Amino acid sequence: MYILLNGKFKQKNEVSIDFEDRGYQFGDGVYEVIRVYNGSYFAMKEHMERFVRSAKEIKIVLQNTAEELTAMLNELLRKNQVQDGAVYMQITRGVTGRKHLFPGQDVKPQIVAYPIPCSKPAAEQEKGIKLHLMEDVRWLRCDIKSLNLLGNVLAKQEAFENGAYEALLHRGEHITEGSSSNFYGVRNGVIYTHPANNLILNGITRMKVVELCEKNGLTLIEEMIKADDLVNLDEAFITSTTSEVIPVIEIDSMKVNGGVPGPVTRELQRLFEEMID
């Protein structure tokens, strides 16, 4: 497998990460996961824009333009002959002695990108999944795709230990998102999802769902859902790069739509599939 490390292609056994990398010590960096379908990236432009924005928000100065990075990622796909899967890319603030303050300009950010296996979660997409509700204890900049994922990791694990596929996070009385996905509720044919502000990650799949709704006459409103109102939902679903659109049929002990995927969710799954094709 070829790995892209700071603009150079290397074999996996030629790559080592310094133990003083700030990504390793502080989670001081940002990342992207980009889906590959039929040998091409899906929504590369949006992923690259979000990557550039995330880096800017944490004041990492990129050494390459978005165009240069895109060209390198394309070469990475070609060299590895990826057909279906994903590419993981991360940048950290660089390697230096362990101090909280940013290092000087002589310390360069470290970028690494490599292919990761990824296939459709077909069973979950077909049958639907269960979510486990819990408090969102993450920081107030969830719009940055930060390497600091401890809040997300703990939430996903707690969901798993409660027999759920994904966490459903609430901050106070409002639902925010999943541990690695965006959440949507459907009521009387209208789709509701949390506004794209600092409390959630503006998912690329979410952007595509918003676009699909606009193009196909489905009403989507970016409005917070109250945890107390979950019982009134007709349908629910989550989205992410690796999940695509997955119906939610249970939230803890409560069934959604009688425990089967609903028609609006099915329609979005169909439209999403059509878009990928």
Under the binding rule (CB under 6 A), the answer on residue 148 touching ligand PLP is no
Residue with the closest Cβ to ligand PLP?
Answer: 203
- Of residues 230, 231, 237, 226, the one with CA closest to residue 260: 237
Should residue 152 be labelled a site residue for ligand PLP when binding is judged by CB under 6 A? yes
- Radius of gyration, alpha carbons of the chain: 19
First to last CA, the chain: 27
- The residue from 90, 92, 125, 205 that contacts ligand PLP (CB under 6 A) is 205
Joined tokens for residue 146: 């930060």
Taking CB under 6 A as the binding criterion, the range among 55-63, 158-166, 179-187, 263-271 that sits at the site for ligand PLP is 179-187
Residue 269 binds ligand PLP (CB under 6 A): no
Say how far apart CA 249 and CA 244 lie, in whole Å: 16
Contact (CB, 8 A) for 149 and 159? no
Q: Which residue has the tokens 């497998």?
A: 1
Concerning whether 79 is annotated as a catalytic residue, the answer is no
Nearer to ligand PLP, 89 or 204 (CB): 204
If binding is defined by CB under 6 A, does position 177 make contact with ligand PLP? yes
- Asked if 181 interacts with ligand PLP (CB under 6 A), we say yes
Active-site residue (options: 130, 145, 156, 208): 145
Q: CB under 6 A: which stretch of 102-110, 111-119, 239-247, 269-277 binds ligand PLP?
A: 239-247
| Using rule CB under 6 A, residue 146 touches ligand PLP | no
CB 207 → ligand PLP: shortest distance, Å?
8
Query: Are residues 153 and 177 in contact, defined by beta-carbon separation less than 8 angstroms?
Result: no
Query: Cα–chain-centroid distance for residue 176?
Result: 14
User: Does residue 36 contact residue 85 with C-beta atoms inside 8 Å?
Assistant: yes
Report the 10 Å Cβ neighbour count for 59: 8
Q: Which residues bind ligand PLP (CB under 6 A)?
A: 152, 177, 180-182, 201, 203-206, 239-241
Active site residues: 145
